[in-house]
Amino acid sequence: MFRKKKVNTSNGPRFPHQHNQNNKHNNTHNNTHNGNHIDTYRILKRALIQSIDGIAVADKNDIIIICNKAWAKMHGYRVSEIIGKPLTIFHTPEQIRDEVIPFNKIVIEKGANYGEMGHVRKDGTVFSTWMSVTPLKDENKKPAGLIGIARDVTERKIMQQALEESEKLYRNLVETMNDGLAVIDKDGRFLFVNQRICEMLDFKKEDLLSSNIKDFFQEPYKSIFLKQLDKRKKGIIKPYEITWTLKDGRKVHTIISPEIIYDKDGQVKGSFGVITDITERKGAEERIALLNKELTRSNRRLKQMALIDSHTGLYNHRYFQKAIGVEFERAKRYNQPLSVMMLDIDYFKSVNDVYGHQFGDLILRQFARQLKKIIRRYDIVIRFGGEEFIIILYGTTKEAALNSAQRAQNTVSLYNFGDGQHNIKLKVSIAVASFPEDKINSGTELINLVDYILNKTKEDGGNRIYSAIDVKKEKPLLIENNPKTPEVKSLEEKIEKLTRRANQSLVESVFAFAKTIKLKDHYTGEHVENTVYYATETAKRLNLKEEEIEHIRQASMVHDLGKIGISEKILLKRSPLNKDEFEEIKRHTQIGADILRPIHFFNHIIPLVFYHHERWDGKGYPNGLKGEQIPIGARIVAIADVYQALISDRPYRKAYPQKKARRIIKDGSGTHFDPNIVDTFLKLI
């Protein structure tokens, strides 16, 4: 409702509640003689009461003299609470200033006004209405007040706003989508295009909208499009490929996915299409077609390479797993002997530790060449893994296989392995298993037997040759093929328990060994304990599995184990490291991994130790892994490691304040560290 300038009401109209009893009596008397007037009054009264719109009448002093229930309910009042109250109770001061007064001015000037108007309820909540206001005139047609009709449009406003937001969203989607979008009439004239199709066709939007889509096609594609357009007029739609010709002659290959637009009578009005640029894909298809023959040849080579060990050029364990079953069945079918020789270089880890892995790889290649020299041309040498090799000896009895093993051991013991600068002698343990002498029934049993025999040679000190005869007094080799008696089951349980105890003792020994680094570098020893806490707690907060958390705890305990192999002079240096010194200290991740590698139940934590100096942006070491290529455990240990280093005294600087350390960690998010882990870690500290 609107305010208007206050005027003296003495000359204004007299409303029913203002008349005295005599006037009421006179009116009643007059109305009694005017039935039509009474009926009209009653109809108007019912219309006022029953109207779903709020209606209120105010006098010249802006005092409410009449209102219906809809008006009162809209504002949270009863009718009796409103009569005699000023219009100002329905508006906030701001609404009066910004809306009511300007609105009222138009009412005075033009004799009426309508539009959106802000109101306020009894409880103080503000809402929007659609108002229609006209002046109330007396019998002399002079202004006597105002009549206001209002409808609450809050829900409509909400719906309108939602519609506008939805339209904005869809327009945004259309304009930013990767595919072109165009609407054409049934003759092919553009009615709407998005930005992507403009970029695709190298046209300004306004120019494109004045064009016909047919102009962009040359034969044979123009005929293809016209056929598709004709099909669309008949209601037939199907995605199709077509090539556009741009004004500079360039070709754009696309897929058009059309939809038909119908008018209200169900007639085809036009169509719209999603246009996907496949130019790059088409080019790639052409290149692929040219390379197809080469790829086929390469595929055959790759299949062969998958069975070859890259270091030695020998067949690998994948080949062996496939071949041994086939060869065993062949030997069994034709009643031919078949022997397998397994060789393991003794103490080979010390070669890598002393001379490095590059030298170790050279030794393995030389060893492989020596083995190939002593076998027949149809026997096969295989690198089974690490420093273990297998020779499949076709048609060879156990006696002949043992002779070959002796010849191999003699050859190895006499050969000087090395690069000339460093020469070493090797010792080798050899195991031999044979069919049918060893009474085995499958290729798998043959592998298990020769592996078991080799383990016995290692247990007995290595540098020897064993066959099943040498271990025949031991417990049965193929227990799994015998029925499990209670005694066997009990024995297996005891062995398993003893194995677990031995493993636990070995784990504790390694962790104790890691702590001895304190004797060499006090910082590293203290640093490890705090790093374990930060890494473990971070892993818990990331809701990792218990098994992963335990691996991270173990890895953080031994992550700097490799520093045992780094010079104290470098570890305790008080000035920044030079390039060579930094390269030396980078070796500690490799050394740590090598120390743990022989212990099979540490396999899960070796990657965490080896990669804990990798960076999220790929600029870390040792392998320059990037992002999620880095194991999550290594990413967690990395951030715990760096933070503990920042807040600790180092030989070359004092500890940073915690605030500065937090800032450095935060600044490293997305470059040095995984952003998700940074967020979790900062909440922890």
Q: Give the model's pLDDT for residue 458.
A: 82
Residue 660 tokens read as: 């500065």
Q: Give the model's pLDDT for residue 223.
A: 87
Question: What does the alpha-carbon distance between residue 321 and residue 327 come to, in Å, rounded to a whole number?
Answer: 11
> Which CATH fold would you assign to the domain 16-153?
Beta-Lactamase (3.30.450)
**Band (379; pLDDT cuts 50, 70, 90):** very high
pTM score of the predicted model: 0.34
Q: Give the model's pLDDT for residue 357.
A: 87
Domains in the chain: boundaries: 16-153, 177-282, 317-482, 502-684
Question: What does the alpha-carbon distance between residue 74 and residue 85 come to, in Å, rounded to a whole number?
Answer: 16
Lowest-pLDDT range, 174-188, 505-519, 569-583?
505-519
Length of the chain: 685
| Helix (H) or strand (E) segment spanning residue 556 | helix 546-558
**Beta carbons within 10 angstroms of residue 468's beta carbon:** 22
Measured on CA atoms in the order 479, 483, 488, 492, is the torsion positive or negative?
positive
Q: Give the model's pLDDT for residue 14.
A: 35
Instruction: Note whether 16-153 and 177-282 share their fold.
Output: yes
Render pLDDT for 121-159 as a digit per residue (tens, 0 to 9): 999 999 999 999 999 888 888 888 999 999 999 888 888
Average of pLDDT values for 503-508? 53
**Band (667; pLDDT cuts 50, 70, 90):** very high
Lowest-pLDDT range, 9-23, 90-104, 338-352, 643-657?
9-23
Render pLDDT for 224-242 as a digit per residue (tens, 0 to 9): 888 887 887 777 778 888 8
Lowest-pLDDT range, 10-14, 113-117, 435-439?
10-14
Q: Give the model's pLDDT for residue 476.
A: 42
Q: Are 242 and 225 in contact (CB under 8 A)?
A: yes
> Which CATH fold would you assign to the domain 177-282?
Beta-Lactamase (3.30.450)
Q: Give the model's pLDDT for residue 304.
A: 67
Percent of the chain scored above 90 by pLDDT?
Answer: 43
Contacts of 272 (CB under 8 A, 6+ apart): 181, 182, 183, 184, 192, 258, 259, 261
Beta-strand pair 465-467/428-435: parallel
Residue 366 has pLDDT above 80, yes or no: yes
Average of pLDDT values for 102-114? 91
Residue 492 has pLDDT above 80, yes or no: no
> Which CATH fold would you assign to the domain 317-482?
Alpha-Beta Plaits (3.30.70)
Residue 357 or residue 503, greater confidence: 357
> Which CATH fold would you assign to the domain 502-684?
Hypothetical protein af1432 (1.10.3210)
Out of 264-273, 463-472, 617-626, the most confident range is: 617-626
Q: Give the model's pLDDT for residue 396.
A: 95
Render pLDDT for 420-434 as a digit per residue (tens, 0 to 9): 888 888 989 999 999
Cis link prior to 622 (omega < 30° from 0)?
yes
Distances (CA, A) of 506 to 196, 394, 532: 64, 41, 20
